[in-house]
Amino acid sequence: MIYTLTLNPAIDQMISVPNFQLGATNKAKDQYQILGGKGVNVSVMLQNLGHKNMALGFMAQGEAAQFESYLKTKEVVSDFHKIAGHTRLNLKIRDLSNNQETELNCLGFSISDTDEKALMDVIKKYLTKEDILIMSGSIAPGSSKNLYQTIAQFCSENQITFAIDATKEVLLSTLQYHPLLIKPNLAELNEIFSASTSFNNIEEVTNLAKKLLSSGAQNVLISNGGQGSLLVTKDQSYLANAAKGTLVNSVGAGDSMVAGFVGTYSKTKDIRESLLVASAAGAATAFCQGIGDLDLVEKLKAQIKITP
């Protein structure tokens, strides 16, 4: 079984604005809402691809029923530890004149030591060495800074495979426990190493990824939107081109890539096929409102070539 972990769920408010201007009144042309958080997005894409999974983590009592209803419609089973308070709201503003996105991520509920212990009890209740845990996203205010590291250590000590998609310090703290997959985008990779490389210098990007392999990661998947993605393993590096389509929103695209890779690899152990599905899944979500469906993923796979 694959389990996902969301420590800081979100309600993403997607707003499209013609010629967005700072310091001015802007009128939306289109808007819609996505219930998510990175782990929730991973769960939905896993299910869309046919991989049964369970969503774990924290959930605000104020919106718990709304999230659970949403996941039920997606046929995702969940067992969240409920927290008093409300889910954070994230505003994603897309400028239709240049396709640039501006994000404003708000604060949500805070958690306590008691909440963390309850979460660990849930994780220990379900996970065995036959399972995979995907940890995704930020941690909620009040969380221990080493919470992901603690969970990664538990996985390592109990022979549980895990993948992680998180930012700099949190990500680096887990590498000693050898995650199956980490997925920084290019900007996050540059942040980790205080670099400024680009996909125009793929050798330099590869060398940075190899440093993460040396620190313990088994596979490093680096995404860069319309320029495609790079997968670096201990044996080989693979490039995947980006599928062609109209960007609707980028929210959940990286999460969909993680779902595509881990779900496929869990069944096939085929690195190339896992990268292919990951790339198509990420594009499918970028080209629609919400999380992409299986039909679109299959259609986009035909556009993607893996080299070498």
C-alpha pair distances (Å), 150 with each of 37, 93, 126, 264: 21, 35, 16, 27
Task: Mark whether 255 is an active-site residue.
Answer: yes
DSSP string, 98-112: T--EEEEEPP-----
DSSP string, 272-301: HHHHHHHHHHHHHHHTSSSSPPHHHHHHHH
Chain position carrying tokens 């496929």: 264
Q: Are 131 and 162 in contact (CB under 8 A)?
A: no
Beta-strand relationship, 181-182 and 30-36: unpaired
Q: Are 170 and 135 in contact (CB under 8 A)?
A: no
In sequence order, which ranges of 53-193 are alpha helices (DSSP H)? Answer: 64-73, 113-126, 147-157, 168-174, 186-193
Structure tokens at 130: 């036959």
| Helix, strand, or coil (residue 17) | strand
| Helix, strand, or coil (residue 96) | coil
**HEC profile for 57-79?**
EEEEHHHHHHHHHHHHHCCCEEE
User: Which candidate in 95, 115, 255, 295 is catalytic?
Assistant: 255
C-alpha pair distances (Å), 208 with each of 61, 213, 231: 41, 9, 12
Nearest one of 246, 226, 228, 188 to 16, comparing CA atoms: 246
Q: Are 103 and 92 in contact (CB under 8 A)?
A: yes
Q: Which residues are catalytic?
A: 255
